[in-house]
Chains A and B, each alone.
Chain A
Amino acid sequence: MSTLEIRDLHVAVDTDTGDKEILRGVDLVVRADEIHAIMGPNGSGKSTLAYSIAGHPKYRVTRGTVTLDGDDVLAMSVDARARAGLFLAMQYPVEVPGVSVSNFLRTAKTAIDGQPPKLRSWVKDVKAAMDGLNIDPAFAERDLNTGFSGGEKKRHEILQLDLLDPNVAILDETDSGLDIDALRVVADGVNRFHRRGGKGVLLITHYTRILRYISPDFVHVFVDGRIAEEGGPDLAEKLEIEGYVGYVGTSA
């Protein structure tokens, strides 16, 4: 049971022309068992929010707080945030040649739990998780994200979500680039994770189509570095019909 609380978050990046503020006062609370969808046009800062919470060094928090059950997330190193129970499924998982998926998964699991997983149950767990996401067993011996198709990368992110079992999962455009079958597989994986109980989910997406398979409790419209409107699932339906035109003046 965890609560992720974001208060007045301002984030900037260094650019050639000086500081550029991308997040301009974000307030958001994700409680256990809640699914939040953050929707917004390209360039609105959705991904910046995700990476800032995970601690990517490119983003500099200039104001505000992020806490997990009251603990100061912003004071933690990247790896400590993951061990505290935060997980970010990335839009563009990075290739790491020479490191096999199975070695990576075992190393990450050991780091998160503070001890190596029991070998027998671990092998079984990995196999079951891979089955659940229609991942070929041979996948385990491939180099991490290296030469993976877009769909394989996304399924591999959800495989980690399943095995590392965080308290709060942030999914950054996990739906983008997936065909309908892959989208269903990935959505099922997220729903299974959520049904374990006590899990918070923050789903970042440009499109409404993943919301046919994952039902959010709250929908936030993200525009220009802050939340412009909040509502229930009906807000997503409105966006499906009207797009973001009412917020940004174009249909971007």
Chain B
Amino acid sequence: MTIITEHSHGPGASHGSSLHRFASFDVDAHDIPRGREEAWRFTPMVRLRNLHVDAPLDGHDYEITVDADPPVQVRNGEASDALRGASGYVPVDRVSARAWAAADKVLALTFPAEAVSERPTVVRMRGLSAEKPAAGHLVVAAQPYSRAVLVVEHEGSAAFVDHVEIVVEDGAQLTVVTLQDWADDAVQLSYHHARVGREASVKHVVVTFGGDLVRTSTSLDYAGPGGEAELLGMYFVDAGQHVENRLFVDHNTPHARSNVEYKGALQGDGAHAVWVGDVLIRPEALGIKTFELNRNLVLTDGARADSVPNLEIETGEIEGAGHASATGRFDDEQLFYLQARGISPEQARRLVVRGFFTSLINRIGVPQLAERLSGAVDRELAISEATEARHR
């Protein structure tokens, strides 16, 4: 069964509750979420390990390595680092406010003005234990007219709450890929915020494969007119995993663009993917254009995908706004066609799933990652094949 909803909104259309969000650095200004709130209703609160209540966030059981070529500036700063807060982000919930207060170090990366970095800069975080929760803070600043790619990789075990601030100054072009390839016991609550400058463009990519619970909240606004944002995501959710992606695009300037595309595959009992895409088009956001797309491919019984696009339009003077969301099973006719050419059922499934992700991987556009992402899809599929073989 395939459920598809797709529609465009004409000027003046408006629905849903207000997307204007409360924000504060004060931890106690935020209520402890109980799981009934709109922002938490899909999240299994019992698996949060009290990160949202009072669990200390002072752990340091992780290693970070940075691989950067000159002229990229890397600074392991104190909590008071000058770049901290540069994106204009203010915590939108209690978890975020707690992590903001708890982070005692700030990793600051600066891509200098007009510098073009050929090779991706890579930040690797390896968690050593999920026992002691930790808070992290990363600020990425792409100065005017710089061009760079940053890949942030996460692996190992951790209970981690982190902020990633992304500042894309006028005319800069920045790609940030965050890769969650955690061990099975990892819990991560991640808050990304990007501020896009005048005529600047950002490509923000969230790839999630591993972890018990990975919840990534990405928000974005504009510091000037004419900014462009591509927000891409890819996930593969296995039995028992909870992968949640929440997006909030705040169109607060004229003539900006935003384009969201998240695609995921799910397999196994209790695999749960959540995608919430909020777009707010403010009265001053004249002539903007936005589109969001979420597609889920459910490979086995027992997996569940929730997909909630939400568009709030406060001006009639826009170029276009729309969204599409589809969740479907394997297409039996595709599998039949491939098998009728001698291809085994396992390989046919592999072709179809790889194909499902191909255009997205191309769109991510980081050649150094493409093979790795395809390989990760193959490995994930090998898991379901092994499971099926046992059941046969």
Contact = CB atoms under 8 A, between A and B. Distances in A.
A94 B331 contact: yes
B355 A143 contact: yes
A143 B345 CA distance: 20
A142 B356 CA distance: 14
A111 B342 contact: yes
Interface string B337-378: 111111111011001101111110000000000000000000
B334 interface: yes
A49 interface: no
A107 B340 CA distance: 12
A82 interface: yes
B336 interface: yes
A96 B332 contact: no
A56 B338 CA distance: 12
Contact of B359 (A54, A79, A97, A144): A97
Given A98-B359, A99-B354, A107 B343 contact: yes
Given A56-B336, A78-B336, A111-B347, A96 B342 contact: no
Contact of A112 (B331, B332, B341, B355): B341
Contact of A164 (B341, B355, B356): B341
A96 B339 contact: no
Contacts of A213: none
A104 B356 CA distance: 14
Nearest to B357: A98
Interface residues of A, number: 29
Interface residues of B, number: 24
A90 B359 CA distance: 26
B313 to A, nearest CB: 31
A57 interface: yes
Interface in A98-131: 98-99, 103-104, 107-108, 111-112
A79 B347 CA distance: 11
B6 interface: no
Interface of A: 54-57, 77-79, 81-83, 88, 90, 93-99, 103-104, 107-108, 111-112, 143-144, 160, 164
Contact of A104 (B332, B339, B351): B351
Nearest to B352: A96
A48 to B, nearest CB: 14
A83 B334 CA distance: 18
Given A57-B332, A79-B342, A98-B357, A107 B337 contact: no
Contacts of B336: 56-57, 78, 94
Nearest to A114: B342
Interface string B318-333: 0000000000000111
Given A57-B332, A94-B333, A160 B341 contact: yes
Contacts of A79: 339-345, 348
A108 B338 CA distance: 8
Given A57-B332, A104-B351, A143-B355, A94 B341 contact: no
A180 B343 CA distance: 33
Contacts of A112: 341-342
Contacts of A143: 355
B351 A82 contact: no
Contacts of A97: 355-356, 358-359
Nearest to B345: A79
B341 A108 contact: yes
16 contacts: A79-B339, A79-B341, A79-B348, A90-B337, A94-B336, A96-B337, A96-B338, A98-B357, A98-B359, A99-B358, A108-B342, A111-B347, A112-B341, A112-B342, A143-B355, A160-B341
A235 B352 CA distance: 44
A99 B342 contact: no
Residue from A55, A94, A95 whose CB has the most chain B CB atoms within 10 Å: A94
A111 B344 contact: yes
Nearest to A145: B337
A81 B340 CA distance: 8
A94 B341 CA distance: 12
A54 B336 CA distance: 9
Contacts of A98: 354-359
Residue from A57, A90, A99 whose CB has the most chain B CB atoms within 10 Å: A99
Contacts of B352: 96, 99
A94 B356 CA distance: 14
Contacts of B342: 79, 82-83, 108, 111-112, 164
Nearest to A108: B341
Contacts of B354: 98-99
Contact of A94 (B334, B343, B345, B347): B334
A107 B342 CA distance: 9
A96 B359 CA distance: 12
Contact of A77 (B331, B339, B341, B357): B339
A61 B10 CA distance: 52
Contacts of B333: 94
